Amino acid sequence: MLNKLTLIQALHGLKQKKFSSRQLVQACLDQIDKYDSKIHAFLSINSDALKEADKIDTHLPLGGIPIAVKDNFLTIGLPTTASSKVLDGYMPHYESTVTARLKSAGAIILGKTNMDAWAHGSSTETSDYGSTKNPWNMDYLPGGSSGGSAAAVASDMCIAAIGSETAGSIRQPAAWCGVTGFKPTYGRVSRYGVIAMASSTDSPGPIGKTVQDCALINQIIAGHDSYDATTSSLPISTANIELPKKLKIGLPKEYLEVLQPETKEQVLKAVDQLKSLGHSIEEMSLIHPKYSIGVYTIIQRSEVSSNLARYDGIRYGHGRDKFGQEAKRRIILGTYALSAGYYDQYYNKAQKVRTLIIKDFQKAFSRYDLIIDPVSPGPALKVGASTDEPMFGEMQDILVEPSSIAGLTGISVPCGTIRNLPVGFGLIGPQFSEQLILAAGHQLQQATTWHHEKPTL
Amino acid sequence: MDVKYIAKLANLHLTSTEETKFQKQFIDTLQTVDLINKLDTSHIQPTSQITGLVNIMREDTIDTSRILPPPAHNKGYFKVPAIFNAQ
């Protein structure tokens, strides 16, 4: 079954002409036909995918590979809605840098995946088009906001996918769906053509079946973009992700405290694996992540209130009356935090605590190469868990908010299951340490088989 | 928080049910957020962006390679719904 291949395996097969890109794309489309009416990972499918596959040059770095893209990336020819009725039917007038680079590298955009509307959430339940289900157990959520992308990869409906993370939106759904999610440093991957959520933390990145797959996609999409003034000119990681040395890794006790007992057990198994690979793991201390909740809530909602002001229903999209509850809540809180009389108490204060968090990490990374960041307090929650919980996302993302606020890079890799629900193991590194993160994650996957486990659909 | 006033600032229409519901939810949210006031930030500068980049410029040239050209009959303009009653 060609759709079950990893990206690396698929590339080898295509280059050796064991199968055609058309066959690969068809296998994915067949899987979508079979399972997506239940899983609902996709909002739209590229009706030209097979035609594109026939014409593709398989010598290109991603030549002929079908990739699913989160619906907040503008794609000419495919609707882009950010899972919101405000953009129902919107056909973009320009292409995002990420998808433009994927296409130049020969990737086939298979379709657009479901997400929390405007990326406002950690469940995919706030989508105006219905939630995506977790392929491991349809009564459970896939996480979010890149839930559609994570579910599509977990159920082999695509070879790899693209997501975006503002605070956990790549890593958390990857953890809940048992796949690998990689968040590059803020400023590594261009945000041009990505529907903005919190402009100071939004980070596009890959969700894949292995760390190697994510590393390859990162190589294609990352790098300076003249259209995004916040992108870095630093050279990007090469595809070589061999670890250069033994690492000194920090294990923050405040983060372990937040974990549910069974999840902590699984995370510590992964920690043992790292030890057996020769790395030194040392318990250490970071500012308690509970403070990040307030910082992130204020900063994100403030930036959201500004970014969503452009949806006036005049130049594009429908009226503001089409915003869902969650979007309205966030816009209102953000407007309040930025309003006269409250700016200092909320927004300015949050920015100052942000500085504290950044400095805390800088101090930690002067002693440690990487830090363990367990991603999620527990495995996936049941469908409905986020309803009427205004702080659901922020509470679920408590462990990933600090690293997002500080613009760091991080990864989530599968580390086992609890009652058939996946658990993710995370590592974070200083800004622009993608090479190290990917190398460490890859080494862990070469020594373990957790990432080979798949849901029974 | 005066939800009705803030909603007006944000150009959002709320039903009275939403207003009441949000008012309660915001009290809870702000309570969680208030935790940050426990941390001492005197003498700390706010961070608004973490890249450290300053004054990034580019040439003032037009690149149309990534945009869809508007239909020829629109003469380079984008068509939008009328916001005032025509005529």
**ipTM summary value:** 0.90
Of residues A255 and A238, more confidently modeled: A255
Contacts of A293 in chain B (CB under 8 A): 32-33, 35
Averaged pLDDT for residues A215-222 = 96
Contact criterion met (CB < 8 Å) for B33 and A293: yes
Does A421 have pLDDT greater than 90?
yes
Residue A77 tokens read as 């020819």
Residue A366 tokens read as 């002067």
To test the contact with chain A by mutation, choose from B5, B38, B51 the residue with the greatest count of A C-beta atoms within 10 A, namely B51
**B11 contact A CB<8A:** yes
By Cβ distance, the residue of A315, A323, A329 closest to B25 is A329
Contact criterion met (CB < 8 Å) for A391 and B46: no
Candidate from A40-54, A282-296, B54-68 with smallest mean pLDDT: B54-68
- Distance from the Cα of A209 to chain B's closest Cα (Å) equals 30
Contact criterion met (CB < 8 Å) for A305 and B67: no
Does A28 have pLDDT greater than 90?
yes
Q: What is the pLDDT of residues B10-66, one digit of tens each?
A: 999 999 999 999 999 999 999 999 999 999 999 999 998 899 899 999 889 988 888
**A74 contact B CB<8A:** no
- Collapsed DSSP state (helix, strand, coil) of residue A42: strand
Sign of CA dihedral A146, A173, A398, A383: positive
Give the CA diameter of chain A: 66
Of B7, B34, B8, B11, give the one whose Cα is nearest residue B21.
B7
**Is beta strand A203-208 parallel, antiparallel or unpaired with respect to A248-252?**
unpaired
Contact criterion met (CB < 8 Å) for B50 and A407: yes
Q: Locate the chain A residue with the closest alpha carbon to B38.
A: A291
To test the contact with chain A by mutation, choose from B8, B9, B27, B66 the residue with the greatest count of A C-beta atoms within 10 A, namely B66
Q: What's the angle, vertex CA A81, arms to CA A76 and CA A87, rounded to 5? A: 105
Q: Active-site residue A264, yes or no?
A: no
Residue A372 tokens read as 């363990």
The full DSSP string for A54-117 is HH--TTSTTTT-EEEEETTB-BTTB---TT-GGGTT---SB--HHHHHHHHTT-EEEEEE--SG
Give the number of C-alpha atoms closer than 13 A to the C-alpha of residue A361, restricted to the C-beta side.
25
Averaged pLDDT for residues A222-239 = 89
Q: Active-site residue A83, yes or no?
A: no
Of residues A5 and B87, more confidently modeled: A5
- Distance from the Cα of A349 to chain B's closest Cα (Å) equals 7
Contact criterion met (CB < 8 Å) for A335 and B9: yes
Averaged pLDDT for residues A251-265 = 96
Q: Active-site residue A145, yes or no?
A: yes
Contact criterion met (CB < 8 Å) for B7 and A350: no
- Distance from the Cα of A36 to chain B's closest Cα (Å) equals 31
Q: Whole-structure pTM over 0.90, yes or no?
A: yes
The answer to whether the beta carbons of residues A448 and A424 sit under 8 Å apart is: no
Q: What is the pLDDT of residues A300-339, one digit of tens each?
A: 999 999 999 999 988 889 999 999 999 999 999 999 999 9
